[in-house]
Amino acid sequence: MKLAAEGLAKRFAGGVEALADVSIELAAGEFVSIVGPSGCGKSTLLAMLAGLLEPSAGRILLDGVAARDGVAARDGLLGRIGYMPQRDLLMEWRTTLQNATLGLELAGVARAAARERALAEVGRFGLAGFEDRRPSALSGGMRQRAALLRTFLAGRDMMVLDEPFGALDALTREAMREWLLGVWESDRKTILLVTHDVEEAVFLSDRVYVMSGRPGRIRTAVEVSLPRPRTLELTATPAFAELKARLLAPLREEARSALGSA
């Protein structure tokens, strides 16, 4: 297993229980998604995997090695997993390329070499011609691709992406999904994607975990054995619709009960 989380729980100071007993697995080169309603603790889970938050219980194994049980999980994981937060967090005081090469810069790669490696990727990431522009000159989709390029160039072979397309319009989202799939198929990095969009999860993934909220836990895991390479046309097939329905059922139940209890 590339990454395994076993019985992860997170209770924040003040007693809010964000996650309870979350276990997931990703084999090397797999694309796995987690879907769940907003506020189900998805972002908390990713922050723990990225080493930014300490789990209250459970352990995280990267390449089969526990990131030092419990207490020091944070030190063990920080900097080893590529992390793309929900917001692009591009810095306006840097050009697009300077934002993208942050990971290389922090790894001590010489400026010219980092620039060269980034320039080799701008075409594939749809940023050609915008290398030396400030982030404010980019469209929403381009900003997300720049943030993804920053994550890719950091060079980790395990990446966690937190709703990377959440802020984009529907058409751009679709195009970005197909594009991300293409990038993943050529690189075969291990990707864990968090989303609240079932269609996005099914279209991209080998396996989808469904989370329920407060406290967040894994409800079901659904294997997606649709053939690859996939194109957007796949979303119109009956097999796709069936998988979508299987994932939506527990989510709808969840949403109804949340409304009922409110």
Partner 1 sequence: MSTTGTRLALALGGRLEPRPHAAPGRRRGVVGRVLAPMVVGVLLLALWQSYVALSGVREGTFPSPLEVADALVRDRSLLLSSAWTTLSEILLGYGVAIVVGIALATAVSSSRLIERAIYPWLVVSQMIPIPAIAPVVVLWTGFDIRPKLIVIALVTFFPIAVNTIDGLRATDSELVGLLRTLGAGRLDVFRIARLPNALPYVFSGLRVSAAFAVIAAVFAEWVGSTSGLGVLILDYGNQAATADVFATVFVLALIGVALFAAVGIVERLAVPWWQVEQ
> Among 3, 19, 81, 100, which residue interacts with partner 1 (rule: CB under 8 A)?
81
Q: Which is nearer to partner 1, 82 or 244 (CB)?
A: 82
The angle, 0 to 180 degrees and rounded to 10, between the axes of the packed helices 140-153 and 170-187 is: 20
Helix (H, G, I), strand (E, B) or coil at 162: strand
Separation between Cα atoms, residue 34 and residue 198, nearest integer Å: 9
Q: Which is nearer to partner 1, 78 or 245 (CB)?
A: 78
Residue 225 vs residues 30, 184, 196, 203, 255: alpha-carbon distances, Å: 12, 17, 20, 11, 27
* Binding mask of the shown chain, residues 98 to 137, with x at each position contacting partner 1 by CB under 8 A: ----xx--xx--------------------------x-xx
112, containing H or E segment: helix 111-119
Of 95, 100, 93, whose CA–CA distance to 132 is shortest?
95
What does the buried/exposed string (b/e) look like for 73-105 if buried means 16 or more CB atoms within 10 Å of the residue's CB?
bbebbeebbbbbbbebebeeeebbbbbbbbbbb
Q: How many residues does the chain have?
A: 262
Q: How far is the CB of 98 from partner 1 (least distance, A)?
A: 10
Residue 82 sits in the site that holds partner 1 (CB under 8 A) = yes
Give me the phi and psi of 109, to 5 degrees please: -70, 135
Q: Which of these ranges, 22-30, 49-57, 174-182, 196-204, lies near partner 1 under the rule CB under 8 A?
A: 49-57
Of 38, 198, 185, 53, whose CA–CA distance to 5 is shortest?
53
Residue 87 sits in the site that holds partner 1 (CB under 8 A) = yes
Residue 83 sits in the site that holds partner 1 (CB under 8 A) = yes
Q: How far is the CB of 99 from partner 1 (least distance, A)?
A: 10
Contact positions with partner 1 (CB under 8 A) in 211-250: none
Q: How far is the CB of 213 from partner 1 (least distance, A)?
A: 21
Q: Which of these ranges, 59-67, 79-87, 121-129, 227-235, lies near partner 1 under the rule CB under 8 A?
A: 79-87
Residue 52 sits in the site that holds partner 1 (CB under 8 A) = yes
- Where along the sequence are the contacts to partner 1 (CB under 8 A)? 47, 50-52, 78-79, 81-83, 85, 87, 89, 91-93, 102-103, 106-107, 134, 136-137, 150, 154
